Structure formats: structure tokens, C-alpha cells
Amino acid sequence: MKKITKIDELPQGQLPNTKLRVAAYARVSTDSDEQLESLKAQREHYERYIKSNPEWVFAGLYYDEGISGTKMEKRTELLRMIRDCKQGRIDFIITKSISRFARNTVDCLELVRKLIDIGVYIYFEKENLNTGDMESELMLSILSGFAAEESASISQNSKWSIQKRFQNGSYIGTPPYGYTNIDGEMVIVPEEAEIIKRIFSECLSGKGGGTIARGLNKDKIPARRGNHWSAGTVIDMLRNEKYMGDVLLQKTYTDSNYNRHPNTGEKDQYYYKDNHEPIISREDFAKAQDLIDERAKMKCKGVKKNVYLNRYALSGKIVCGECGRNFRRKTNYSAGRSYIAWSCIGHIEDKESCSMLFLRDGEIKATLTTMMNKLAFSHKLILEPLFKSISQIDEESDRERMDAIDKRMEQLMEERNTLITLMAKGFLEPALFNQERKVLDSEIKNLTTEKTNLVTNSTSGVLRANDIKDLIDYVSADNFNGEYTEELFEEFVENIIVNSRDELTFNLKCGLSLKEKVVR
């Protein structure tokens, strides 16, 4: 009689007599010492567990630490693991539970389906659930629903705790520029406090937010985390009650989809007077608020004040689209009458190398006015959706991840110093030293790149959002009269590209580039 041996179905891409490449995924939701100890235990557990199975080969451990599980796009290691699965490096994944893997049904089912399609299965230890054995998604859907409820419960408990701290005044959060958190108290940082005093002093002398920001950037004064200063950042600081020693709690809130919004009455707010040591006197703070309010009124009215005006606002801001040279202001004459015009320097110097002809000053300003009026008319269709999409960047999660990176970098630097010390004392062979040093340097390089990307993305998003909000406020004001002002140009336009005598491109400071036919 023939002997028949059953061969179980193997994952896609897995050949008989080859070992299963098994990876593990772990996550802790905060960066506390206790949670990091938990992460360490999970790492040791999975390495032992996978390596103890002779049919498996360890394909790596992926873990996220110090970040929220509710935002999958912030979980860099989970996303890296999925990429490795797609590239055929992993056949099977082990994780502690569904709640560690995904915090809502949609994310969980989407990931499971995606991995099953490429022949990669997941084993959830707590639920004893292997996606390779499922006949349907019903059980996973039910269990994922419980995980979503668990996440919502944890989030609700966290919100309740924060709410209680709002009520009793013990909540601090992230102190603003000029302060630091020491033992639960807001303490002044002297060198940053001097910058705060400078900002308020320049405001009281009549300078606007954009002018103050340009001065800080010109003097190479770093903002927090090395970012550039913007008009929006300066105005937010001038509006911050913390600098006169008070605290307004719950300025923003997070909705059920974990998106943050300004609190305009949806949630209770709590105001604490004389909460900590002030940097600015109440009198100076009140004067600054009056000046900002008055400036905003004049901006809406289009009032021209000498404090806003440069002699030639367009100087150095008009660029030839043909040769790349700047335009120069000139006085032209026609039929015995003079008028102001702007001419390409390249054309002035050599008409053969650049054929771009001049534009009248009035034509450029009328074209800008037309473009701004179009934005005012359609700001709800163009600017507000753009502002909303950029504002949804989860800055808090980015900051938490950067803090986690900083802590890990400190650990790696200590390990590297220890390695060098052992090598110097002759306790390590050169080959082993080089091998370990290479691993540490590689991780340091990867973390440095990740942090740079986080800073760049977060900074550019916040700055663009501030600039777009300023533009929306300007063009949507009821008393915006649609006329050209020097302030309008300086505040919102980065430069003008002259494509031809009949078409201009306005590059706005908020990142938009808008083409407009020249108005004559």
C-alpha cells in the first residue's frame, strides 16, 4: 500500500524544507521607565521564543516606543515591518495582542488583509488567534472591536485624569518658550526670557510680527528645536497669557477621531491667575494686546502707515522668468509724461541675451490685486481646506517621538563610549569592536535621519499653517476692500516671476504659487 504524507499549506513564497522567517512586533504606549522595562522583557521573550523553534529563523524584532497607538502613521517600526513583508523578508509575525497591533477595527482588518494577500500571517498571543487559520474575518473583527473599545477607554481615562488636573491647577503640559518644567513647576529659562522681553519690547515700539520674526532670524537666534521664526509664531507668543504669569487651560481639544481643534466653547476652560513667575508685566502685556488688535483693524481696512512701508516694496522681489535676473525700478517717459516701470537687469545689460520687456508699476500692482480678490472670493474653496489639511499634523506625537529618539541616542552614545573604553583597555578584539561599533553607528545614523525628517515635516507644516491662516484672516475680513497696499505685498508675497509681459506667477509665503494674466 502506498504511503501518503500530508504536507500542510505553506505561506506564499515559502518552499518545502526551508525555515519560516518569523518576526515579532512589540509596542509600549508611553516612554516611562516601567513601560520601557516592559518593552525590554518583550524583546527578550520573543527572541527566546522564536529561536527555540527549530523550524523558525529569527527575522527581527520591530518595536515602537513612547508614541500613541491610535495614530498608525506615527508608528515607524510597524510601517517598516510591513515594508519588509512586501519585500519578502518575513513569512510570519508574532505579537502580544490585537490592541498592541492596532487600536481600531478598520486599521487591523486593513493590515491583516494586506499581509494575507502577500502570504504573511499574524499570530496574536493573547487571543490565541492565527490569521492563517481563519475561515473568515468575523472573529478578528469582533476582537478588533474590543481592542478599539479598550483604546477608547484608556483614552477616556487619560482625558479624565487631565481634566482633573485642569480643575485643580496641577496640569502643566509642555511649557512655552522661555520656561521649563522642573519638579512640576514652570521655571524661567533666563536666556530664552531675554528673547521674550525683546519680542514684547519691539512690539511695543510699533513693529509687526513679520518684522520681529525677520529680525530674530537675521540675528540667528534659534527658536525652540532650532526652527525659524515666523510672524504667526511671534503673534502666538505675544498672545500667550503665560508670559504674564497666568495659565488658560484646555485651549484645544481632541475629537473622537484623534484630531485636534481650537476650543471655541466646546469644552470647559480653566484660568489660573498668578500661577507662576511672569516674564512680562501685566501692563506691558495689555499694551501689546491693544497694539495687536489695532494693527489687525488697520490691516483689514488697508490703512497705510509709515511703520509698515519700505520705500520700494517690490525691489528685489521681481524675477525674470527668461534669464533669472531681478527687475530694477526705473522712471520711463512717454509723450512727455513720466511713469514708473520695472525692467529686467539682464535685458538692460544685454538685449540679445534676454528679450523680456518692462512692466509698468501699476500693472504689477493691479495684477496682484486681482489675484487677492480671487482668493477673497474663493477662500472657502481653496485656502480653508488647505489650512485644515496642514493643521491636522499631530505635532504632539512628533514631539513625543523626538523625545524618545533623544533618549535612545543618549543610550547609544553611552554604549559607544563604553565600547571604546573596553577596546582601549584591551578587553575587546579589534574585529568584535569594529562589528559592534558599526551596529551602533548605523542605528545612530538612522535615528538622526528620522529626527531630521520629523523636525522638517513638523516645522514646515506648522509654519505653512500659520501663514495660510494669516492669509485667510486678511482676505476673509468683512472690511477687506480689495485694494493694493505695500503691507499686503510684504506680508504675503515671497516674489514674483515674470513669465512674459502677459503673465505673472506670484509665489506666496504660505507656499502657494498662483499664475495671473497681467492686468492693463
* Distance between CA atoms of residues 4 and 15, nearest Å: 19
Query: Residue range 424-431: average pLDDT?
Result: 76
Give the domain ranges of the chain: 20-155, 171-300, 318-379+478-517, 388-475
Report the distance separating Cα 484 and Cα 369, nearest Å: 5
> Which secondary-structure segment (H or E) carries 24?
strand 20-27
CB-CB contact of 260 with 254 (8 Å): yes
Alpha carbon of 434 to those of 408, 410, 448: distances in Å? 21, 20, 21
The long-range contacts involving 141-144, CB below 8 angstroms and separated by at least 24 positions, are 141/105, 141/109, 143/98, 144/98, 144/102, 144/104, 144/105, 144/108, 144/109
Q: Identify the three-state secondary structure at position 14.
A: coil
Does residue 253 carry a pLDDT above 70?
A: no
Task: Band the pLDDT of 73: cuts 50, 70, 90.
Answer: low
Upper half-sphere CA count for residue 229 (Cβ side, 13 Å): 24
Question: Is residue 292 helix, strand or coil?
Answer: helix
- d(Cα 36, Cα 28) in Å, to the nearest integer? 7
When comparing pLDDT for 337 and 5, which is higher? 337
Q: What residues contact 188, with CB distance under 8 A and at least 6 apart?
A: 178, 179, 277, 279
Count of CB atoms within 10 A of residue 81's CB?
A: 26
504, 496 contact by CB (below 8 A): yes
Q: Using an 8 Å Cβ cutoff, are 171 and 184 in contact?
A: no
What whole-number distance in Å separates Cα of residue 89 and Cα of residue 362?
64
Which residues are bridge partners to 319 per DSSP? 326, 497
CA–CA separation, 290 and 335 (whole Å): 50
Give the SS3 label for residue 507.
strand
Cα separation, 116 vs 135, whole angstroms: 12
- DSSP assignment of 243-275 equals GGT-EEE-SEEE-TTS-EEE-SSSS--EEETT-
Share of the chain above pLDDT 70, in %: 70
Which tens digits make up the pLDDT trace of 403-425?
Answer: 788 888 888 888 888 878 777 77
pLDDT at 267 over 70: no
Counting beta carbons within 10 angstroms of the beta carbon of residue 123, is it exposed (0 to 12), middle (13 to 18) or buried (19 or more)? middle
Burial of residue 363 (number of CB atoms within 10 Å: 0-12, 13-18, 19+): middle
Task: List the grid coordinates of 473.
Answer: 484672516
Alpha-carbon dihedral angle through residues 162, 165, 167, 172, given to the nearest 10 degrees: -100
Report helix, strand or coil for 339. strand
Among the listed residues 184, 230, 238, 228, the one whose alpha carbon sits nearest the alpha carbon of residue 210: 230
Name 243's Cβ contacts closer than 8 Å, sequence gap at least 6.
Answer: 176, 178, 196, 200, 237, 278, 279, 280, 285
* Contact in structure between 415 and 444 (CB atoms under 8 Å): no
- CB of 227 within 8 A of CB of 457? no
**What was the pLDDT predicted at 83?**
92
The secondary structure of the chain in percent helix, strand, coil, rounded to multiples of 5, reads 50, 15, 35
The Cα–Cα gap between 490 and 289 comes to 22
Instruction: Note the pLDDT of residue 81.
Output: 92
Residue 58 sits at φ, ψ, to 5 deg, of -70, 120
**What's the average model confidence in pLDDT over 419-438?**
79
Q: What is the mean pLDDT of residues 283-309?
A: 67
Q: Report CA-CA distances (Å) from 25 to 19, 45, 96.
A: 19, 12, 8
At 18 the pLDDT is 77
State percent of the chain over pLDDT 90: 17
Which residue spans within 399-517 are E strands per DSSP? 493-500, 503-508, 513-517
Across the range 55-75, mean pLDDT stands at 72
CB 105 within 8 A of CB 148: yes
Do the Cβ atoms of 46 and 24 come closer than 8 Å? Answer: yes
Q: Where are the alpha helices (DSSP H) in 87-176?
A: 98-101, 105-117, 138-168
Residue 480 pLDDT greater than 90, yes or no: no
- Give residue for cell 513647576: 185
What pLDDT, on the 0 to 100 scale, is given for residue 320? 92
Bridge partners of 439? Answer: none
Cα–Cα distance for residue pair 413/399, rounded to 1 Å = 21
* pLDDT, average across residues 372-384: 78
CB-count exposure of residue 337 (10 Å: 0-12, 13-18, 19+): exposed
pLDDT at res. 341: 92
pLDDT at 392: 57
Task: Look over the chain and give the mean of its residue pLDDT values, rounded to a whole number.
Answer: 76
DSSP string, 308-320: T--S-TTTTTEEE
Ranking 48-62, 167-181, 473-487 by mean pLDDT, the lowest is: 167-181
Range 171-300 classified under CATH 3.90.1750.20? yes
- Helix/strand/coil for 129: strand
pLDDT tens digit sequence for 175-226: 888 888 887 788 899 999 999 999 999 988 888 888 898 889 888 888 876 6
Give the integer Cα–Cα distance in Å for 372 and 368.
Answer: 6
At 488 the pLDDT is: 80
Task: Over range 465-494, report the average pLDDT.
Answer: 77
Global confidence as pTM: 0.34
Predicted confidence (pLDDT) at residue 378 exceeds the cutoff of 90? no
CATH topology of domain 20-155: Rossmann fold (3.40.50)
CA distance 62 to 516: 51
Expressed in angstroms, the distance from the first to the final Cα of the chain is: 98
- Rounded to whole angstroms, the Cα distance separating 54 from 90 reads 16
